[in-house]
Structure 1
């Protein structure tokens, strides 16, 4: 077992990445919660317990959790990682949010869309505000890549993880995505 990973309770893991300490919770059906970077392991564990509570997972750590932690660490180093095959347990999540999350999971590394674009892609055209609210309640950010959804005009938009929009921008930057207005062009004339 990797000693740089702490398993404070069954179904919970806290681990360090180059972005900070992250935490995961899972059930026997799949990932139930992911907490994006915190400054300390204790802060990541507190956030996880507040958001996920106790897990109903068995005591054994599934092999896919070890693989996911390794993949998240690679992602934090700037590698192109595809999280679309990670099992996710969305028990209790309504159909609208499931549709939004499924559409978001189709976005690849470095690929972005707007809240309106994602709403349309999920079959809920025009519900961009509701899409934003659904993404704000995303229980497994990164695996369901809500950081890849931008406000109209390529603006960063909101982000509910610790660090807010700065964390979102940092994750997008890892993927080579630049947000905001394009830099102003400067012309040089040799008269």
Structure 2
């Protein structure tokens, strides 16, 4: 395993920090400007530049599906199955924790835990997962549920959660 490459940039939902290992995106987090400045590479890799480009295109409403290689360097087999299932949720659509549990053969509470440990939010769209009553639950992004609502609003003006 090679040393990770890292890159940070500003987005409409806060400062995003990306991590790449062995040619695949392995992490996306929201961090403070001070922290991210300490961890950014001086020479950005092609994958990190492409991921940033796609994120900006997403916020410009010019991209609905991210196409970058991903790798899970942590998590259980169950978490990996949940993260892969979340990647199947179409842009502008929400699934419930129960929907994903049915899809992967688990229970909604365990799916919630896997969503909460998603290492690449936004790219793996955990913001598209809601409670059985349509209620928004936690979100790892800066701003929490308000950011989740912002992302859902961004994806669909017609999406009704309540």
Same fold (TM over 0.5): yes
Q: Distance in 1 between matches of 2:112 and 2:13?
A: 24
The 3 A distance-change label for structure 1 pair 179 and 42 is farther
Structure 1 residues 57-116: Cα deviation after superposition (integer angstroms, max 9, x where no partner): x99643222111011012123333211x32112123210001101110111211210001
| Normalised TM-score (structure 2) | 0.85
User: How many residues were matched structurally?
Assistant: 159
| Superposed structure 1 runs of 4+ greater than 3 Å apart | 58-62, 177-180
Aligned-residue RMSD, C-alpha: 2.6
Q: Distance in 1 between matches of 2:147 and 2:28?
A: 14
Runs of at least 5 residues in structure 2 that lack an aligned partner in the other structure: none
2:89 corresponds to which of 107, 112, 132:
107
Runs of at least 5 residues in structure 1 that lack an aligned partner in the other structure: 1-8, 182-191
Q: Secondary structure at the match of 1:153?
A: coil
8 Å contact kept, 2:85–2:100: yes
Q: Bigger radius of gyration, 1 or 2?
A: 1
The 3 A distance-change label for structure 1 pair 30 and 10 is closer
| Normalised TM-score (structure 1) | 0.73
